[in-house]
Chains A and B, each alone.
Chain A
Amino acid sequence: MRGMSLARTPLYETHVDAGAKLVDFAGWEMPVRYRGIVEEHLAVRESCGVFDVSHMGEIETEGPQAGELLQRLLTNDVASLEVGGAQYSCLCREDGGVLDDLFTYRLAPDHYLTVTNASNHETDLAWFREQAVGFDAEAADRFHDYAMLAVQGPRAREVVGSLAQGELPKRFRVADMNLGTGDAMVCGTGYTGEDGVEILVPPEEAAALWEELVVAGATPAGLGARDTLRLEVNYALYGNDLDTEHTPIESSLGWIVEEHTGFIGSERCAEQREAGPTRILVPLSLDEGIPRQGNPILAGGEEEVGVVTSGTLSPSLGHGIGMGYIRTDLGSEGTEIEVDVRGKRRPGRIGKVPLYDGGSA
């Protein structure tokens, strides 16, 4: 990447001052850790952590047919999303391949905000606009209008609540609030398995809010801890576990797929759900060693039956965990497997969902 300039969030200077180790993540110079991944992970599990996730993008969809447009684009049933609610869904191609996984907030009857993954934002936006033709609705790029902080952990609501006037939105709800540093959109969502909120603010207010949150008791946490936290609770990561080569049915996201709405890709998903997918995304738990992306999954001796898409040492469980695609007939919880970790066969099994079940979410 030498010579390429990386994008920086409004909190870049804050991270540098805090001694963060910065890495390239999807073209963004992001903090992977401050004091250490394990320490930050445990702070979120036991108390409260704050993450800069301003690299994530936003698309605003507005107009009399905004709901109809999103119903066509997104795999979940957008018609069931109430004003002030949040909904998780996939964005698919005609062949069912996953273009992105996203949260959509309904801000008003004809007004929605969808949060995109950094690496997909531009293609998502182009796809939204292409499909918007014929709908009385506009998809606007709001990437540069928001910074985003995730405050997560059993004490997250107490920490954010100490800055807020009024009550924080409940899980999967969104509300505009004043957090002392200015107006903020507060969403009861997260990516850690813990209770907490994600906060969207104008970029120029992000640094002040971050400081207030740290003073109120939030531990700065980097993308390293975000990855270990999400893997412990089996949340898929686009680019690792989700891609255009797999449908949401294969990615074990059937619970956010409502084929009856007729979304783009719904026919393929319906066929696959009916016939049963040949491979599925499952959680992995190893007795020794750490599974890593690309490691073959073996069963019944020599046979390669799948591949690891994400892996890490689990700080909360103390052993190697991950996820991967495996032949559907071998995908049930408890099935014994081996992972070929750089030539060493590491025994383990298909884990339960979630692998870590002590979260406050």
Chain B
Amino acid sequence: MTENANEPTYPDDLRYHAEHDWARIDGEEATFGITWYAQDSLGEVVFFDPPDAGTAISKDASYAEVESVKAVSDVISPLSGEITEVNEAAKENPDVINSDPYGEGWMVKVKLSNPSEVDSLLDAEAYKKLLTD
């Protein structure tokens, strides 16, 4: 099991939720995951337990759990919609959530029910500022 030893990264093409989740927006669809800060705070992720495809999820509400050796954390949905795909590879090997939180460590793909909610999310600069405040 490896852990991401890299410096903190917060890609500019993503939008962020203050509860340390990211969304990659593609029209009315989006991919969600947790940020570098979130995986670093948790430590080595050993369980990722997402709901099934087809589940409706709501902005600001928990939709999944991630569990590290030491702690459990709810994963908060940055936007509302219906899950269209779950990252089965991350369920099998949750350490990709540490090693590649914005790539292989993605969690779910979602069909957005209210794309205008995107406006309420933070950009990378605002999220980084939140972390340093």
Hey, which bits of chain A sit against chain B, CB under 8 A?
Answer: 19, 21, 32-33, 35-39, 224, 227-228, 290, 292, 312-313, 315, 342
- Residues of chain B within 8 A (CB-CB) of A227 are 70
For A32, A290, A315, the residue with the greatest tally of chain B CB atoms inside 10 Å of its CB is A290
Binds A, one of B38-46, B50-58, B100-108: B38-46
Q: Report Cα–Cα, A153/B46, bound state, in Å.
A: 24
Q: A19-B5, A36-B1, A37-B43 are in contact. List 13 more A-B contacts (CB 8 A).
A: A21-B40, A32-B43, A32-B70, A36-B3, A36-B44, A37-B69, A38-B1, A38-B69, A39-B1, A290-B67, A290-B72, A312-B70, A313-B46
Interface residues on B, range: 10 to 19
8 A Cβ contacts from B1-46 to A: 1-3, 5, 40, 43-44, 46
State whether A33 and B43 are in contact (beta carbons under 8 Å apart), knowing that A224-B70, A227-B70, A315-B69 are contacts in the complex: yes
Q: Determine whether the beta carbon of B44 is less than 8 Å from that of A38.
A: yes
User: What is the CB-to-nearest-CB distance from B93 to chain A, in angstroms, rounded to a whole number?
Assistant: 14
Contact of B2 among A36, A228, A312, A313 (CB under 8 A): A36
Q: Report Cα–Cα, A38/B65, bound state, in Å.
A: 20
State whether A36 and B72 are in contact (beta carbons under 8 Å apart), knowing that A290-B67, A342-B65 are contacts in the complex: no
Q: Determine whether the beta carbon of B47 is less than 8 Å from that of A37.
A: no
Q: Report Cα–Cα, A32/B70, bound state, in Å.
A: 10
Q: Report Cα–Cα, A361/B72, bound state, in Å.
A: 31
A-B contact count (CB 8 A): 40
Hey, which bits of chain B sit against chain A, CB under 8 A?
Answer: 1-3, 5, 40, 43-44, 46-47, 65, 67, 69-70, 72
Identity of the chain A residue whose Cβ is nearest the Cβ of B74 in the assembled complex:
A342
Identity of the chain A residue whose Cβ is nearest the Cβ of B72 in the assembled complex:
A292
8 closest Cβ pairs, A-B complex: A36-B3, A37-B69, A38-B1, A313-B46, A313-B69, A36-B44, A224-B70, A38-B44
- Residues of chain B within 8 A (CB-CB) of A36 are 1-3, 43-44
Q: Report Cα–Cα, A19/B6, bound state, in Å.
A: 11
User: What is the CB-to-nearest-CB distance from A121 to chain B, in angstroms, rounded to a whole number?
Assistant: 24
User: What is the CB-to-nearest-CB distance from B7 to chain A, in angstroms, rounded to a whole number?
Assistant: 10
